């Protein structure tokens, strides 16, 4: 989501004793960070700026799906489906016969 300069947050927030920070409610709401269980990636830049970027955490047992190779295969499958390069069958025997052809 791109915001105009006038809509962007500018202010000071406190870092509490245990490192807890609270983002202002309207900022969380505008950026969709108020839905619970949102993760932020923290990036410390060379110029001293600390960036917080919304991030999606993928469970370890599902990481394979998001690999570059698997995503490429997913896109290829989607393209095949959209181009009609599919075979529909009503049974396993029909599927096996189609694969043999």
Model confidence over 12-63: pLDDT tens digits? 999 999 999 999 999 999 988 988 888 999 999 999 999 999 898 889 999 9
Grade residue 1 by pLDDT with cuts at 50, 70 and 90: very low
pTM: 0.52
Whole-number Å distance between alpha carbons of 15 and 22: 8
63, 79 Cβ separation under 8 angstroms: no
Give the residue range(s) of CATH 2.10.260.10 domains in the chain. Answer: 5-55
Distance CA 2, CA 93 (A): 53
Residue 39: closest CA among 22, 21, 52: 52
Tell which CATH architecture fits domain 5-55: Ribbon (2.10)
- The pLDDT value recorded for residue 35 is 85
Integer angstrom CA distances of residue 58 from 39, 42, 53, 65, 100: 11, 17, 15, 10, 37
């Amino acid at each position: 989501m791109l915001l105009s300069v006038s809509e962007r947050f500018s202010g000071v927030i406190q870092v509490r004793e245990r490192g807890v920070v609270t983002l202002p409610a309207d900022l969380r709401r505008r950026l969709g960070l108020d839905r619970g269980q949102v993760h932020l990636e923290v990036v410390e830049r060379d110029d001293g700026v600390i960036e917080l970027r919304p991030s999606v955490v993928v469970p370890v047992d599902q990481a394979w799906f998001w690999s570059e190779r698997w995503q490429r295969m997913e896109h290829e499958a989607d393209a095949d489906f959209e181009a009609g390069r599919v075979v529909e069958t009503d049974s396993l025997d029909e599927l096996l016969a189609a694969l043999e052809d």
